[in-house]
Amino acid sequence: MGSYNFNMVNKLKLNNNYYHTNCYWAQAMTFRCSMVCSFCIMNIRGRGTIIGEELSGVDILNFWNNVEHPKRKALSLLGGEPTLHKDIVEVVNNLEDYAITITTNCRGPFYNNPDFYKKFNPKPSSSLRINTSFHPKYISAEEYIRIVKSYRDYGYSVDQISSVFTPDIEDYAKQIQQVQKELELTFGPYLGFWNIESGYDAELEPQNLEPQENHPFPTIVKKQSGITDIEAYKDICGQYVSKEVICEHPMLSLLVSPNGNYYHCSYKLAYDIDPVGNITKKFKQVTPVNKKCKHYGFCFPCDIPRLTCKKNITAKPIVLNKLYEPYVYSSEVQFLIEDIEIFARMSGLEYNKYKWFEYTYFLLYSGHRRGGKVLDVGSAKSVLPYYLAVKGYDVTCLDIAEQEFREEVGKKYNVKSITGDLREFNTELEGKFDFIISSSVIEHIDRDTESIINLAKYLKRGGVMGVSTDFYERYIEYPNANREIINDSRPDDKYCDSRCYTEEAFMERIVNPLKELKVELIGETNYKNVDITDPSNRCINGYYTFGIAIFRRF
């Protein structure tokens, strides 16, 4: 590891909220892990967190050692598994005046060295505390006991020796009993979705969120997780439609990801939503403006202790009605569209700047299961499916056009390509997808109702479908909408074949036919909140607008 710049004079002075006693400082060293636990809190809304760039130890030390902080300020080093970071030892041994806590699962190459515990030698001004967790599926009782005892015998404080009280914990009763004979093993409650039928793949619905009211150890739930009100907990963490709130959490956390971005909360850190800034650049302080959040209902349970386990009384539905007003173009929207645009430019893929609202609505506010199986229909040469693939989604493209392009680019990004007609039902796709994206497609199909029914059948139970399409002050049947509305004297074959919906026509042709499949609208829909009789509200050059609807299969 190289040298770092320890500035004893001109340290970074943070705003007072960062020094509040409840403000949590944490550095995620890596998102890599030596285990793949189905119940991991990082998987609470998906299947894993994207592995990206990781700061060097020098970069990490250059920030934390140059931040003004109280003596022995608590600083957590997290993962994934933090010992997988190549510079974990150098970071621990060079942090100045911190009460350091490493949270480890005791598994990985770091522990292959029998003298692993001797590697850590923190500065005299700092202290080191080890939190351990026992995962009997991935580590033997003997190995876990050996590691914990090695830390303790060498003089380190190992305050947490715990396991998760998962619904399937009885499967590992023998290993757990073996550990309990040697160590005082405690149990934290499982915080996540589960039911008997689907296990950890249970739908993201309040009734599947653990712990439930009938948890066998309610005192442990309250003590270890801060969950004092189960109904409030479900409201905060267990919804499938998010709401907009004023949240205090951004003022009570300094959560840094492995690549140096820092975030308002654990949910945003895990899914790379709206970073405040990056610690390798000029530090940007949070302000009361950052209290506005549109993800209430999806919060991570680990953030509850820093607040109170009460329903947020400011919660209200998300309504994004006038597409191009500045307040809609928020920092998290801007970050996402810039990220997509940069990826498109670097990859040589097509980026349509007029799609930003659809992209951000689908990815930020639809409530889909992140990292699941995605079907992108009518994508042609769109950048979106390939962007999703590099973010960890399992993507399939379905289109009747651009077969050669989709197959060539799909191989590069591991995106599957199917050439097919949406009007023809594909039995192999039935019930396969967590998330379906239909971006400006159905208005170009003559048999729109038949096509949307087929798409709905491809959803898993609990799956989400995002549909965007064109709306106008009156319904215009396929294929004449473009010709009638624009009517700029171009040759007839230069107009695209399309229709324009009204709200009534959309309900009749798209929404109502899906109800028999238990596929229903969720959340507020954009088309209900735009006055399309007013040309100033029409986003497509003042001609017409498009609306977005989100469906869920119940």
Confidence of residue 6 (pLDDT cuts 50, 70, 90): low
- Give the pLDDT of residue 307: 78
Q: Which two tokens stand for residue 343?
A: 């990826």
The neighbour count for residue 184, using CB atoms within 10 Å, is: 8
Query: Percent of the chain, pLDDT > 90?
Result: 68
Give the type of residue at 452: I
Whole-angstrom Cα distance, residue 207 to residue 194? 9
pLDDT of residue 44: 41
What average pLDDT does the chain have?
90
Mean pLDDT of 317-328: 59
pLDDT tens digit sequence for 212-244:
988 888 888 888 889 999 999 999 999 999 999
Q: Give me the pLDDT at residue 547, please.
A: 85
Predicted pLDDT at 320? 63
Q: Higher pLDDT residue, 427 or 215?
A: 427
Q: Rounded to the nearest 5°, which phi and psi values hold at 453?
A: -65, -45
Domains of the chain: 16-317 (3.20.20), 331-553 (3.40.50.150)
Closest CA to 144 of 115, 175, 167: 175
Considering the entire predicted model, what is its pTM? 0.91
pLDDT at 76 exceeding the cut of 90: yes
115, 118, 114, 119: which is closest to 86 by C-alpha?
119
Q: Is 139 left (phi over 0), alpha (psi -120 to 50) or beta?
A: beta
Higher pLDDT, 402 or 84: 84
Q: Can you tell me the mean pLDDT for 206-210?
A: 94
Contact call for residues 91 and 57 (beta carbons, < 8 A): yes
Least confident stretch, 71-75, 182-186, 376-380? 376-380
Q: Are strands 127-133 and 157-165 parallel, antiparallel or unpaired?
A: parallel
Q: Which residue has the higher pLDDT, 546 or 505?
A: 505
The answer to whether 46 and 372 are in contact (CB under 8 A) is: yes
Does residue 402 surpass a pLDDT of 90? no
pLDDT value of position 46: 36
Residue 222 pairs in a beta bridge with none
**Per-residue pLDDT averaged across 476-489, rounded?**
90
Q: What is the DSSP letter of 20?
A: S
Tell me the per-residue pLDDT of 164-197, one tens digit each, with 9 for 90 and over: 988 888 999 999 999 999 999 998 899 999 999 9
The single-letter DSSP state of residue 510 is I
Pick from 227, 267, 242: which is nearest to 44 by CA?
A: 267
CA distance 130 to 152: 9
Confidence band, pLDDT 50/70/90 cuts, at residue 360: confident
pLDDT band at 93 (very low <50, low <70, confident <90, very high): very high
pLDDT at 546: 79
- Whether the predicted pLDDT of 8 surpasses 60: no
Residue (of 198, 250, 209) closest to 231 by Cα position: 209
Report whether pLDDT(18) > 80. yes
249-304: per-residue pLDDT in tens?
999 999 999 999 999 999 999 889 999 999 999 999 999 989 999 999 999 998 98
Q: Where does the pLDDT of residue 64 fall: very low under 50, low under 70, confident under 90, or very high at 90 and above? A: very high
Pick the residue with more confidence: 543 or 51?
A: 543
- Does the pLDDT of residue 540 top 80, yes or no? no
Residues constituting the chain: 554
Highest mean pLDDT among 40-49, 319-328, 363-372: 363-372
Residue 47 pLDDT class (50, 70, 90 cuts): very low
State the residue for tokens 């106008």. 472
Mean pLDDT of 49-69: 89
Looking at 99-103, 351-355, 396-400, which range is the least confident one? Answer: 351-355
The rounded distance, in Å, linking the Cα atoms of 369 and 374 is 9
Residue 332 vs residues 53, 286, 337, 356: alpha-carbon distances, Å: 20, 14, 9, 12
> What pLDDT, on a 0 to 100 scale, did the predictor assign at position 4?
64
Contact 457, 515 (CB under 8 A): no
In this structure, of 85-89, 318-322, 396-400, 480-484, the range with the lowest mean pLDDT score is: 318-322
Fill in the amino acid letter for 72.
R
The pLDDT value given to residue 219: 85
Is a pLDDT exceeding 60 seen at residue 43?
no
| Per-residue confidence (pLDDT) for residue 361, from 0 to 100 | 86
Q: What is the mean pLDDT of residues 244-251?
A: 94
Lowest mean pLDDT among 89-98, 216-225, 319-328, 430-439: 319-328
